[in-house]
Chain A
Amino acid sequence: MPELMQFLLSGLTVGAVYALVALGFTIIYNASDVVNFAQGEFVMLGGMITVFAYGAGAPLPLAAAVAILTTVFVGVALNKLAIEPARGAPVVSLIIITIGASILIRGVTQIVFDKQIHRFPAFTGDAPIPFFGATLLPQSLWVVGGALTVFVGLYLFFTKTLTGKAVLATANNRLAAQLVGINTGWVMTLSFGLSAAIGALAGVLVTPITLTSYDVGIGLALKGFAAAMLGGMGNPKGALVGGLLLGVIEAMTAGYLSSQYKDAAAFVVILAVLFAMPQGLFGAKSTERV
């Protein structure tokens, strides 16, 4: 039993990171139908920039803030320089642009920083907390707490604020949104900025546990994508549940099957979702009105 609990705890921790990546996907997908494959790079940048700012002598909270703000800047630049000029291009082209952007970001990071694996200390120490016979790292609580806070914050933002509703309106029908006076260009900028901030936050939270290097983004983007698909693309609740569920599936696979199959779990999930329920757990059934 303690074994199961241990797998569950580590699954939820890593699942919370997938959930944050999936939430980032959700925001941009909702505003533009684009799946932003550079989302993983935002997580990587969050971790890497914190590492180097901290190494340069900045206190950890300041280093984290610098990392998040810089990543937001990168996210907005991605929209302004690569997505916006290609407005009107088919969604597939835009998705390929984001793949290109992710390769560029990875390359630049490798040159500006290095190819080593890095970490910085956990926020509140490394002393494991006993939990029903298993142990829990304090940093895991930060990660899970961070994911839940972001989820609640996004939920309130989208349901309660005028700006959030403007994003949803743009997602629902861009032209209609423009007609009622919503600046949809600005909505796109906001979405990329917000996604980048959430990605970077995930990177800051998880780096003390999983470590970081210039190339951790690809894996995270794929896992986050699997999580978003499992939950239902475009649904924040789906992103959260999909992320946590995928993390747990992965941890169970690693624990009870073999850790070599761990990474396969995400892809089996993608395939299963596509075969059995393409709309995901919470996704809306899409029907086109004719």
Chain B
Amino acid sequence: MSLLQVDGLGIEFGGLKAVDNVGFKVEPGEIVSVIGPNGAGKTTLFNMISGIYLPKAGRVTLAGQDVTGMEPHLLARLGLSRTFQNLQIFQHMSVLENVVAGFHLEESGNVLSDLFALPGSRKRARTVRAKAEVLLARVGLERAAGAEAGSLSYGALKRLEIARALALSPKILLLDEPAAGCNAVETEEIDELIAEVAKSGVAILLVEHDMKLVMRISNHIVVLDHGEKIAEGDPETVSRNPDVIAAYLGTAAAQESEHA
């Protein structure tokens, strides 16, 4: 049984098939990338898997349980966590508080105990802060812990979002363009971080435009074009697939590469 299984997933917006009959599997500890030209439906696919959009067709199964169209806060309980291309950060909280919020489900709060700051509540808060600090160090943001999240650079916020997602101890992490807008050094850092997280047993589903990054770290690649899956396989196979080259560079280039 795969950790995440997507079958025949589809959605339409006003008659336009944004994603049509897409299916693939993700195993624990595996890095699977979804690639495709702009507008291919990658983010829409992510939004359906993570409960933001309700799919019109198909099924999403997480560890054997049907989770199609399940709300994000319930998916979080089941171990599915994600980041956004355009960032969903608590802008008015500190960097540390953002990560602390990620431990929400782990913290079992009791309103009365909290109100009177009983030792149990204080200890719980300390433990969570300590864990949050460890995560911040892991993404290289330990020195920004006290800063307001809104004041951070785009690249730093990307890493903060990953740290918060990791705070949920997910079984699978969906990353939507984690390296977008990052410079070469930052991209490399994120690259290492993703590989490290996958090594710890967390499955990664990645949407990314940086082809070098994708080819380097993915175990498996799914290629979308116009909402449909046009190819899948290991990086080597996919990069030589004529349909994929055509989708990215146009048909002429594909023919050229066939002749070459």
Contacts and interface: CB of A to CB of B under 8 A. Distances in A.
Interface of A: 156-157, 160-163, 165-166, 169, 172-173, 175-184, 284, 289
A102 to B, nearest CB: 30
B115 A181 contact: no
Interface of B: 52, 71-73, 76-77, 81-82, 84, 88-93, 101-102, 104-105, 107, 109, 111, 114-115, 117, 121, 150, 164-165, 167-168
A176 B101 CA distance: 9
Nearest to A160: B114
30 contacts: A156-B115, A160-B115, A160-B117, A161-B111, A161-B115, A162-B104, A162-B109, A162-B114, A163-B109, A163-B111, A169-B101, A169-B104, A172-B90, A172-B92, A173-B91, A177-B101, A178-B73, A179-B72, A179-B76, A179-B82, A180-B101, A180-B104, A180-B164, A180-B167, A180-B168, A181-B76, A181-B104, A181-B105, A184-B73, A284-B92
Contact of B76 (A160, A180, A284): A180
B102 to A, nearest CB: 5
A176 B109 contact: no
Nearest to B50: A179
Contacts of A161: 109, 111, 114-115
Given A160-B114, A180-B104, A180-B167, 7 more contacts: A162-B114, A172-B92, A175-B88, A178-B71, A181-B77, A181-B168, A289-B150
Given A160-B114, A160-B117, A161-B109, A179 B90 contact: no
Contact of B104 (A160, A166, A284): A166
A165 B92 CA distance: 13
B18 to A, nearest CB: 18
Contacts of A166: 104
A284 B91 CA distance: 12
Contacts, number: 77
B115 A157 contact: yes
B180 to A, nearest CB: 15
Contacts of A284: 92
Contacts of A177: 73, 101
Contact of A179 (B88, B91, B114): B88
Contacts of A182: 73, 104
Contacts of B105: 180-181
B120 to A, nearest CB: 12
A181 B117 contact: no
Contacts of B82: 179
A162 to B, nearest CB: 3
**Nearest 4 A-B pairs (CB), nearest first?**
A162-B109, A181-B76, A161-B114, A178-B72
Contact of B102 (A156, A172, A178, A180): A180
Contact of B88 (A156, A162, A163, A176): A176
Nearest to A163: B111
B53 to A, nearest CB: 12
A178 B37 CA distance: 29
A172 B115 CA distance: 22
A92 to B, nearest CB: 23
A4 B220 CA distance: 78
Contacts of B76: 178-181
Contacts of A160: 114-115, 117, 121
